[in-house]
Amino acid sequence: MRARIAGVASHLPERTLTSAEVEARIAAESDGYRPYPTIVQRMTGIAARHVMADDEQASDLAVAAARRVLADRGHGPDRLDLLIFASASQDLVEPATAHIVAAKLGASCPVFDVKNACNGFLNGLQLADALIRTGQHERVLVCTGESPSRAIRWKVAGRAQFVDAFAGYTLSDGGAAMLVEAAPDGGIFYRDFTAVSTAWDAGTLPGGGSMHPRDPEFGYFSGDGRRLKDVLLATGPELFLTALAKTGLAWDDFAFIGVHQVTMPYLEVLRSVLGIPADRLVITLPEHGNLASASLPLQLDIALRTGRCGPGDLVAFIGLAGGVSLGVLLAEL
């Protein structure tokens, strides 16, 4: 049996925050430091990002998307064989947020979390594919709820700290869910992953683990954007171009190509290096920001709802976890 993508849904909080509002809040809370006007949008291409309500959790965003994809397929939560929560965010350190999602959704199947920054959702699909192919499960829900707004540094001591915290100003809250089912044909037919683990410290959210269990100063995103870009360009192209060589396909054969979107300049560099036709992309960054692991399923959801792709079409997913973890997955819808 093959693992076929049977449905996808996304959920974006109604509240949005513009890049101008981001800069204004930093200035208001930073005891004298003020970012250069328009720097966030000029550097990233992001005009707005989504912010979940104060009483919402990462699990709530995943549940909202999961309910929609199940309704679209005419399934109840009792039809699930496995639920994977694949997100950079979590409700708690323990237990697995997948348990909270399942409880809110009303599912009673086995569950577990997958965590690999922005590449987590693609790794969740990789696991769903393997478990379906080996006959262990027939219907798997892969879902995510991203809540990075809770870890943004607003009070900045100076330019150096602003640069270190800058990645957080690109991030957006959102949820997504994908239903993967056993099928005799179609489905996922290629997947490959790599990692540059020596660069693990180029982008971190340090608090909550054994290194920094309780210090609130480590509860904010920290990153080196230039280093992450260098790692991507040194490592990434070969993985993705090898996928085409091994399958005998070209980018033009795909109706939709999902690329994890960090900033518009970053996306354009990758598109140019790989030779991806611009008309195969669904650009979400300007209106929705960097949605971390929810970025790829959101793009496919939009592509399907706008008629950009449909049953029988080939689709590609290019995953980037800050350049530290890279993945490619190809499928027939």
- Which residues are identified as catalytic? 118, 260, 290
The label of the residue with tokens 């929609």 reads 68
Residue 306: exposure state from Cβ atoms within 10 A (0-12, 13-18, ≥19): exposed
Q: Which two tokens stand for residue 250?
A: 């070209």
C-alpha to C-alpha distance for 197 and 206, rounded to whole angstroms: 16
Residue 95: asked if its preceding bond is cis (omega within 30°), the reply is yes
Strands 203-204 and 187-195: unpaired
Q: Count how many residues are written for the chain.
A: 333
Give, in order, the Cα–Cα distances in Å from 51 to each of 75, 153, 172, 227.
29, 15, 6, 28
Q: Which two tokens stand for residue 56?
A: 């919402």
